[in-house]
Amino acid sequence: MAIYEIVPLRAFSDNYIWTIRDGSHAAVVDPGDAQPVLDYLAREKLELVAILNTHHHADHVGGNAALLARTRVPVFGPHDERIPDVSVRLADGERCTLPHFHIEMEIMEIPGHTRSHISFHGDGMLFCGDTLFAAGCGRLFEGTPRQMHDSLTRLARLPDDTRVYCGHEYTLANIKFAKAAEPDNRKLPELEAQMQALRNKDQPTLPSTIGREKATNPFLRVSEPAIIHSASTRATKKLLDPVSVLAEIRDWKNNF
Ligand code: ZN
Ligand code: FE
């Protein structure tokens, strides 16, 4: 495997286009806009070798066509005709290997935010698009609370030191909500201070890790008594299962 690094390229107001690069080549995850990628490739004199797409939303795939017009590269993505550019469609448990870098990625289907959302996991990294965010999760546009719960539960089973590369810089707003959902979690004020310090320096708060998410993300903590309690208080009835708790706090966050 080649030595590489992961660089975030900013797009729109708060998207990250995660770029796997070495001295000569690059692969990009979720290029919602081609221009930041083209600028970066030109400036760094890199050749694009692959595109990875986690889901069909325009802020994740909108740059595919313009990148492909310059260089024909494989596009790895889900079985969803709404992303016509995908050349290698991948299902749960399948693997793909990034050209040039020879990094093997395992695919997980993680519906919830959208029905065909996938993640790429390999070499200690997880690219999870808009399903798992630092201290939060994606909105349920096409999925049910049960699907999101199952998807997050599967992601939470990855090793604690897995680095989590999310699609958006939502961390500080998510931590504010997490503090409301779990006021006694002492890790949250500490995390908020660390993340605020990064944002003050205009640095990304990502990647997170699976271990950090398990300790601080309310959507991964729906079986914790404190979260069950605050969700039940909002619902004005005792919520008895993790899926109902997730549904309640997702609705709460939507209106937070
Ligand atoms: Zn999305
Ligand atoms: Fe997005």
How far, in Å, from the CA of 16 to the mean position of ligand 1?
12
Whether 168 sits among the annotated catalytic residues: the reply is yes
134-144 pLDDT per residue, tens: 999 999 999 99
Averaged pLDDT for residues 118-128: 98
13-58 pLDDT per residue, tens: 999 999 999 999 999 999 999 999 999 999 999 999 999 999 999 9
**Which phi-psi region, left, alpha or beta, contains residue 86 (left: φ > 0; alpha: ψ -120 to 50)?**
beta
CB atoms within 10 A of CB 211: 15
How far, in Å, from the CA of 5 to the mean position of ligand 2?
23
CB atoms within 10 A of CB 122: 19
236-249 pLDDT per residue, tens: 999 999 999 999 99
Whether 113 sits among the annotated catalytic residues: the reply is yes
Residue 131 · residue 156 · CB < 8 Å: no
How far, in Å, from the CA of 83 to the mean position of ligand 2?
14
**Strand, helix or coil at 234?**
helix
Q: Residue 138: nearest ligand to its CA? A: 1
**pTM higher than the cut 0.75:** yes
